[in-house]
Amino acid sequence: MHKFGIWAPKAQKMSLSWRGQVLPMNGPSHRGWWTLEVEEAGCGDRYAFLLDDDPTPYPDPRSVRQPDGVHGASELYRHDNFTWHDQLWRGSPKTGAIIYELHIGTFSAEGTFDGAIPKLQYLAELGVTHVEVMPVAAWAGKQGWGYDSVSLFATHEHYGGPDGFKRFVDACHATGLSVILDVVYNHFGPVGNYTGKFGPYLNHNRKTPWGDAVNLDQEGSDEVRRFFVDNAIMWLKDYHCDGLRFDAVHAFIDLSAVHFMEQLSTEVERLGATVGKEFYLIAESDLNDPRVIRPREANGYGMDAQWSDDFHHSLFAVLYSPKEGETGYYGDFGTLADLHKSLQHAYVYDGQYSGYRKRRHGRPADGLSAHHFIHFDQNHDQVGNRGWGERLEHLIETDTAKLSIGLVLLAPYTPMLFMGEEWACSTPFLYFADHEDEEMRRLVAAGRKSEFAAFGFDGDVPDPEQEKTYTDSKLKWDEQKDEKHADFLAWTKALIKLRRSRVCFNDGDMHHLHVSSDEEARTLVMERDEARVVVNFGDQPFSFALLEGETLELVSRSGVDVRDGYLNVPPMTLAVFLSTSEQAEDRKVEARSRS
């Protein structure tokens, strides 16, 4: 037996299409729910819903499986039919996380969950603790980034469907890797979204960059919020994910007394208490508002961490000079002082005027641990939203890219790598899609070309609707054998090993961090108790005074020379010096006595 249910508050009548029959449903309830119990229904049955006199059968918005795509009939699926092997798994600690963002379709040649599994041991040996998977909820077409999902409870069939994702998560846990899933709750994709047929999932009076805002605080919003919260709980409970990354939370337009993010964090905490597991909740936010990551007890929303755009933008603008027309938000950055502030205080814009936004932006993140901020020098957005999908190592010299990833992995914040950057891979990560609807395909391709012509990119950018754009973005694992890529991979492994072996590199207390910089000399120094990271961003060698007891531990390129009490550091080089914790403490005492 199965009890079918659908929220359709405006419908006058509802019917279930099942096994060639049309069965009237009971309802609506005072909240707008229609239900029907079918004794003979079971796992694997296809079904759809009919609204009023519309003869078109529509898939279930809460369908767990869409075997024929997002336009087809839904299929009954039972989560308890899968056999898990991770009963003792409790997840990797959040405070020591090293995150690795990947896209299932381009991570392996197969482009599937099963195709990704053989690579998991490599990630564990690299030193990764958390795998952050770009969205896997079902969308129209085959290839895509996943941010156009429309059937949010179903898993993309071309990746391997619900069982395929469970095998992937189970394998991650067997390898010692936690899984963070990227979810999109701020909009639905443009093709195959049928939620509006059933209820007010969108608020037509409020707009976001993707169109109408999700209805989080108007009539019917209780059930809309329940839809998204239940979706989050499903990924954590039924798919055993260890955390979620919420896309663009700044597009949650919610004037409720209890913000949607607060509701999410509260209900996820309850689930964690029930199953005996802590979950990791990450927000993508450009608000520079510490309420997003403050505990609910401190009047925050209770997210565990947020992506740190200010660090990325300030680092990128120091390493690379954007072409005319492609400046955008990078126009607010560009000085070493910006990078210095992003390292010392997390936010660069914490209340001052932003020229890009033409208003004041942000507020200070005082009192928060560095572990609440996720640092990266590239991610799917920053790479894929360039015209040719250029990774950082395609835009700057290899030695400069080594310096960049060194800062990411040695700063006190939680580091995140984007798949392939650990070996400076040669493949781009382009924007690709498969919208099925021919008019939408034409509009997307034309819009992409027009958008980047305005940004000053020469020539035609790749058509996102062509399969070649997708296949060109697949990682080339064999190139790790090449000397250049092998050397870069060895550097990344050395950085991660150093981070994992020293307490000072995992200390999130911002008071234990001291950053200094010299704009004219183009140098930056980051002191973390017994460790000192010195960086020469200039085009000339620079000499740093060697502290008593320091020894050279790691350097991004040859040529660092230690003599007569000075470190002679070549251009675009990062060097790490270590001393004992006793020597570091003695220096602090001496500095305090001098002051």
**246 annotated ligand-binding residue:** yes
In the block, residue with structure tokens 């490599």: 122
CB contact burial 80-105 (16+ within 10 A = b; e otherwise): eeeeeeeeebebbebeebbbbbbbbb
pLDDT for 269-284, tens place per residue? Answer: 999 999 999 999 999 9
Beta carbons of 324 and 403 less than 8 angstroms apart: no
Tell me, yes or no, if 284 is annotated catalytic: yes
Q: What type of residue sits at position 406?
A: G
Has residue 63 been placed in a domain?
Answer: no
Has residue 368 been placed in a domain?
Answer: yes
Averages of pLDDT over runs of 10 residues in the chain (595 residues) are: 96 97 97 97 98 97 98 97 96 96 98 98 98 98 96 98 98 98 97 97 95 97 98 98 98 97 98 97 97 97 97 96 73 95 97 96 96 98 93 96 98 97 98 86 73 59 93 98 97 98 94 95 95 96 90 92 89 94 75 62
CB atoms within 10 A of CB 387: 22
Same domain, 379 and 496: yes
Has residue 67 been placed in a domain?
Answer: no
In the block, residue with structure tokens 């034409």: 442
Same domain, 15 and 160: no
Structure confidence at residue 591 (pLDDT) = 62
Same domain, 9 and 34: yes
Structure confidence at residue 592 (pLDDT) = 64
Q: Which domain holds residue 582?
A: 514-594
**156 annotated ligand-binding residue:** no
To the nearest 10 degrees (0 to 180), the angle between helices 260-275 and 221-237 is: 40
Question: Among 574, 526, 568, 517, which Cα is nearest to 546's?
Answer: 568
Rounded to an integer, what distance in angstroms lies between the CA atom of residue 174 and that of residue 171? 5
**485 annotated ligand-binding residue:** no
Structure confidence at residue 456 (pLDDT) = 56
**250 annotated ligand-binding residue:** yes
**382 annotated ligand-binding residue:** yes
Has residue 399 been placed in a domain?
Answer: yes
Rounded to an integer, what distance in angstroms lies between the CA atom of residue 384 and that of residue 146? 13
Looking at the chain, the number of H-run helices and the number of E-run strands are 16, 28
Has residue 338 been placed in a domain?
Answer: yes
**385 annotated ligand-binding residue:** yes
Beta carbons of 230 and 476 less than 8 angstroms apart: no
Has residue 544 been placed in a domain?
Answer: yes
**312 annotated ligand-binding residue:** yes
The helix, strand and coil proportions of the chain, stated in percent and rounded to the nearest 5, come to 35, 20, 45
Is pTM, for the whole model, over 0.85? Answer: yes
* Number of domains observed in the structure of the chain: 3
Structure-block tokens of residue 374: 């996720």
pLDDT for 65-79, tens place per residue? Answer: 999 999 999 999 999
Has residue 428 been placed in a domain?
Answer: yes
Same domain, 455 and 529: no
Structure confidence at residue 582 (pLDDT) = 82
Q: Which CATH number covers residue 432?
A: 3.20.20.80
DSSP string, 169-204: HHHHHHHT-EEEEEE--S---SSS--HHHHS--EEE
Structure-block tokens of residue 69: 């795509």
Selected catalytic residue, list 247, 262, 421, 465:
247
**309 annotated ligand-binding residue:** yes
Same domain, 550 and 464: no
CA 395 to chain centre: 22
Same domain, 187 and 282: yes
Same domain, 456 and 322: yes
Selected catalytic residue, list 75, 262, 284, 527:
284
Same domain, 520 and 496: no
